[in-house]
Structure 1
Amino acid sequence: MSQALKIWETLENKPAGKWTFSKMLCLKAPYFSSISPLFEQLQPSLCIIRMKKHRAVLNHLGTVHAIAMCNMAELAGGTMTDATVPSTHRWIPKGMTVEYLKKAKTDLTATATPVQANFVWTNSSEYLVNVEITDEAQQPVFRAVITMQVSAKK
């Protein structure tokens, strides 16, 4: 079990536990603090995070900036991958293909899941992660497929 998942399981049901976990993760990877994420759910093969529509993530149109959604997708996909890969392996993002489906005018929710259930871990492989970002009406505004390079630890 990953260190992040252990910490999540310790904090998730405590008062302000989800907020504390979100802040701790952003201390480890500071760039993600730019979107002020809030983790809602984390388990192997699933990560759900929320992001408020706030000034720091807006573009010139007053909607959520495309790169803020990319940041949200990478955070959800990477954390889900971390909670999913066996402790004998390590991972790193290798690439991301994105689709901007419509303007993001509200708070957002990102859901990350593996493309393939029951993935077989080898010494080195590409692990694909789906991330869908929806608005408050549960309408998709963004989709991504992130390629994670997973390899056995040396």
Structure 2
Amino acid sequence: MTNALDLYHRAARIPVLGRGAFSLVFALKAPYFLTIAPSLVEMRPNHAEVRVRKWWGVHNHIGTVHVIAIANGMEMAMGALAEASIPAHLRWIPKGMQLEYLAMSDSTMTATADTDPADWTGPGEVAVRVQSTRTDGTVTVRGIITLHVSERPSAQPADA
């Protein structure tokens, strides 16, 4: 189990405040996530969910949730999934994102990220499937976030 996933499980044991505190700390790793006031709802290998609440701070000019706010939620879900899924000898970095806008995002949104266990067997590219869903179940944005996965550099001994 990764350090982030272990911390998530420990935080989730604290009713109400645990996941909220973990969401805040996780979002601080990439502070732009804080612009959407995210809640990490679920984090496990090959799946993560982030809630993006509909409030004026994420609205576009027509009063719906701005697609870039949704993309932030999907990227946070992808990051949580990657941290929960990647083997200790590998590391990841986003390489690209492709999104389709399918419907208006006019409620609180749930951004999800999914992969298959076989995606994490070694270096290369991982295509993380992401989508955003309204409270009525309608998928509003769907896409792929491509990750570059490489070997973690081995620790070099310090010169004496």
Classify the TM-score, shorter chain.
over 0.9
Q: Between Structure 1 and Structure 2, whose CA radius of gyration is higher?
A: 2
Task: Tell me, in whole angstroms, the C-alpha distance in 1 between the residues paired with 2:69 and 2:120.
Answer: 32
Which one-letter code corresponds to 2:151 in the other structure?
A: A
Whether contact under 8 Å (2:86, 2:120) holds in the other structure is no
Match of 1:138 in 2: 137
Give the drift of 1:121: 2.1
Task: Tell me, in whole angstroms, the C-alpha distance in 2 between the residues paired with 1:105 and 1:120.
Answer: 35
Task: Tell me, in whole angstroms, the C-alpha distance in 2 between the residues paired with 1:5 and 1:120.
Answer: 16
Q: Deviations over 1:64-87 (max 9, x none)?
A: 111111111111012101110101
Give the drift of 1:117: 4.1
Q: TM-score, normalized by length of structure 1? A: 0.94
Give the drift of 1:2: 2.3
Query: Identity across aligned pairs (percent)?
Result: 37
CA RMSD, 1 decimal: 1.1
Q: TM-score, normalized by length of structure 2? A: 0.91
Match of 1:152 in 2: 151
Task: Tell me, in whole angstroms, the C-alpha distance in 2 between the residues paired with 1:78 and 1:29.
Answer: 10
Give the drift of 1:60: 0.4
1:1-154 map, 5 Å = 1-15=1-15, 16-114=17-115, 116-119=116-119, 121-122=121-122, 124-154=123-153
Which residues of structure 2 form unaligned runs of 5+? Answer: 154-160
Which one-letter code corresponds to 1:67 in the other structure?
A: I
